[in-house]
A and B are shown apart, each in its own frame.
Chain A
Amino acid sequence: MEFINFFIDLFSDYTTRIIGIGTALLGIVSGVLGAYATLKKQSLLGDAVAHAALPGIAIAFLITGTKNPIIFFAGAALSGWLATLWIMGITRNTRIKTDTALGMILAVFFGIGLVLLTYIQKLPNANQAGLETFLFGQAATLLKSDVIAMGIIGFGTIVIIILLWKEFKLFTFDPQFAKSLGYNTRFLDILLTSLIVLAIVLGLQAVGVVLMSAMLIAPAAAARQWTDRLDRMVILSAAFGALSGLTGTAISSYGANISTGPTIILSSVSIVIFSFLFAPGRGLVAKFLMREKNRRNLALNKVISEMYEICSSHDSPTHQHSVAILKTLPGFSYRMIRQLKEKDLVEVDSEKQWHMTAKGIKAAKQIKDLGGAE
């Protein structure tokens, strides 16, 4: 409860509330689209688009001379989109691979953006202050109007995702099949990529060019560990995105002198690490336990089938043996015989003589039918 009260106290401040709502919205939108980006193996596209947005912002300012967020948004989206098209063109038309195209376009566009920004800074009488917030992001500069704009764009994006749910799902997992069913995959590809570009550009003001890619990848990478279903993954990813937005804002406003971008990223990376470790099924801990259990079962199986073999060489499978004889079985240990006893596979009588139960014989026969202890 105290923790919740702490949150309520924290967000009772107007500015913090605006920033919190803004970053949570951002988390939802980038979480939803990040799910598709990671599934389509386009995780690093976010990084490239974020960097490539910079010249668009600078050119938008050079042309209009104003710092209208909508115009910046349009400029950033346009140049991010052009960069994406060029990356796709390079990989399609030459032997250059995706990673090279991404890295090169990212850095070259960023360089152009930097040239333009430094050029703008030297212009006389230019009202240029604040352009560099896009580099590293400054959630503190989010205004109510920005958050409303983010809300509208985010809502529109999610409506499109819901309307084209089936199409996007099919296209993400099996584009060839989608094409063979007559869907316009080229259109779907461009639409989905454009939505991803929008989500990235939306987040630039808050978390900046450098960290935006993690905003896209982290919630999706975490959500992927908990489920194999797309609908659950998208919802979880959105929830993780929102959670890291809120937590990041809370930590940043609580601890003085830390900007919001890095705290949001570290929050979402913490969720990823937690998911990597503890997600049921896929998580590392679950996998480790599963491996241990398999190993133990294999050892038990081996002992019980060995025991069955030596018992069968006697008159009846329930023939009794002393521990001294059982000790000679490969893989035998006292712990193991106790476990076999707990599972009612073997029994011990008053003279400390061990023999197999009916259940144990059945199990051993099954193992034998399956092709031995291996």
Chain B
Amino acid sequence: MMTGIQIEIQVIAILVAVSCALPGVFLVLRKMAMISDAISHAILPGIVVGFLITNSISSPLLIFLAAITGVVTVAIVELISKTNLVKEDAAIGLVFPMLFSIGVILISKNTGNMHIDTDTVLLGELAFAPFNRFVVSGIDLGPTGAWVMGAILLLNLVFIAVFFKELKLSTFDVGLAASLGFMPGVLHYALMSIVSITTVGAFDSVGAILVVALMIAPAATAYLITDDLKLMLIYAAIIAMFSAIAGYWMAKLMDASIAGSMAFMCGFVFLLVYLFAPVRGLLSVYNRRKRQKSEFAQMTLLIHIHNHSGENDDIEERRASHLKKHFLWDELFIKKIVRQALSAGLLTEKQELLSLTEKGDQFIDAANALFTSKHHPGFEALRKEFIIFSD
């Protein structure tokens, strides 16, 4: 039986993970994943200054100040890359360590009146989240973290729902978006603000570095599964939810960091999809490459036999033993390709002599039609019709 605190931690974990995963989809598609890394580190001085003013880790003013630091970081990075003095990635790599260093020094200069340290900001501690209660006129409304992250998740959902069309267009075709008057620049900074606010809201529970895992990994995983933006958002959210819950229980089992375990789960899901995804997984890519190689070899073989049949009959060229010399394939490969073509009924073999069957002739005609026309309307149909390409 789960205790109330366990349920609360998991609710916060899910809220954080989904809040991060949604804007993460756009970061991945816009090739801006490392910007989230920069923002997550660079908010430190904003958090410190906010904390010195408000003396509370979850006050709206602190979130606001820190989020502004995040947006300013993006602006500085863009300013530097525009000068062309260094490339954009180097600009990112210069700006966030600088701001982070300033934050660390601010903390060490104010140790007397600071109750946060760099560990808190970088690593977070989800296990403590339920102890910070949101109490209104004596009534306990649950953990503050859940309310803050719930509000941020709502903000992200509304932002994406309202500006879905604009986000989609400016992500895939900035030029078209600009020419249609969608102001991709404004949208870009709106998205950066969303990322900053989400990061600031989440650092308290999962830490600034693991925010990056929650933003990027579910989105990258979803990107390997689907081509549809809506589905990608949904898959990323589901993966984030799963990683949050599985991460919590893994942490409980090992008595280790919850945020770290959530990041591990995100990575683990990615690994599984990376290896086994239906179309883009390593295994399917490997199988496809292998199949295409044998398909191509069979086509080459058939056309070779065709070229030396009929009017230009040349028995020598059609001998199985000659193929090695002609194609420079190794013998095992030749045997495999010939066997496949024979079993598909495209070739016949009589005393080592290969000839096209009627089906083989039809294949050659179809293939010729395919290659000589500019369009390739029926390659899949051709494959299915002649089914030569089975292993």
Contact = CB atoms under 8 A, between A and B. Distances in A.
Contacts of B49: none
Interface in B79-120: 80, 83, 85-87, 89-90, 92-94, 97-98, 100-102, 104-105, 108-109, 111, 118-119
Using C-beta atoms within 8 Å of the partner chain, give the interface range for chain A.
Answer: 35 or more
A213 interface: yes
A105 B268 CA distance: 11
Contact of A102 (B34, B256, B257): B34
Contacts of A276: 80, 83, 85
A118 B98 contact: no
Interface stretch (A189-197, A257-265, A354-362): A257-265
Contacts of B259: 111, 114
Interface in A268-322: 269, 272, 276, 282, 284
B86 A107 contact: no
Interface stretch (B134-142, B208-216, B346-354): B208-216
Interface stretch (B62-70, B217-225, B319-327, B376-384): B217-225
Contacts of B220: 96, 100-101, 104
Contacts of A107: 37, 209-214, 216-217, 263
Nearest to B103: A262
A211 interface: yes
B111 A257 contact: yes
B203 interface: no
Interface in B252-287: 254-257, 259-264, 266-267, 270, 274, 280, 282, 285
Interface stretch (B11-19, B25-33, B189-197, B229-237): B25-33
Interface string A220-261: 110011000000000000000000000000000000011101
A104 B224 contact: no
B381 to A, nearest CB: 27
Contact of B101 (A95, A102, A110, A266): A266
A214 B93 contact: yes
A248 to B, nearest CB: 10
Interface in A70-120: 90, 93-97, 99-119
A210 B97 CA distance: 7
Interface of A: 38, 41-44, 46-47, 51, 90, 93-97, 99-119, 122, 132, 135-136, 210-211, 213-214, 216-218, 220-221, 224-225, 257-259, 261-263, 265-266, 269, 272, 276, 282, 284
Interface string B41-81: 10000000000000000000000000000000000000010
Interface of B: 27-28, 31-34, 36-37, 41, 80, 83, 85-87, 89-90, 92-94, 97-98, 100-102, 104-105, 108-109, 111, 118-119, 122-123, 207, 209-217, 219-220, 223-224, 250-251, 254-257, 259-264, 266-267, 270, 274, 280, 282, 285
B274 A102 contact: no
Contacts of B97: 210-211, 213-214, 218, 265, 269
A110 B216 contact: no
A43 B250 CA distance: 34
Contact of A112 (B98, B109, B267): B267
A135 B98 CA distance: 17
B160 to A, nearest CB: 19
A23 to B, nearest CB: 14
B264 A108 contact: yes
B101 A261 contact: yes
A114 B123 contact: yes
Contacts of B224: 94-96
Contact of B98 (A46, A104, A269): A269
Given A43-B90, A114-B259, A217-B94, A282 B34 contact: no
B104 A136 contact: yes
A258 B92 CA distance: 24
Contacts of A136: 104, 118
A95 B220 CA distance: 10
B93 A119 contact: no
Contact of B89 (A41, A114, A262): A41
Most B CB contacts (10 A, CB to CB) among A107, A116, A118, A132 go to A107
Helix, strand, loop or mixed for chain A's interface? Answer: helix
A114 B260 contact: yes
A350 to B, nearest CB: 51
Given A96-B223, A99-B33, A118 B93 contact: no
B208 to A, nearest CB: 9
A118 B31 CA distance: 33
A117 B254 CA distance: 11
Given A112-B267, A115-B260, A257-B111, A93 B101 contact: no
A108 B111 contact: no
Nearest to A47: B93
A115 to B, nearest CB: 4
A99 B102 contact: no
Contacts of B210: 107, 110-111, 114
A106 B37 contact: yes
Most A CB contacts (10 A, CB to CB) among B89, B101, B108 go to B101
A51 B209 CA distance: 9
Given A100-B223, A104-B267, 11 more contacts: A38-B86, A44-B92, A95-B280, A96-B220, A96-B223, A99-B31, A107-B211, A111-B259, A135-B122, A218-B94, A224-B86
A115 B264 contact: yes
A265 B98 contact: yes
| Top 5 closest pairs, chain A to chain B, by CB | A111-B263, A108-B267, A107-B213, A114-B260, A214-B97
Contact of B255 (A90, A97, A119, A284): A119
Given A104-B216, A261-B101, A118 B260 contact: yes
A27 to B, nearest CB: 14
Contacts of B213: 104, 107-108, 110-111
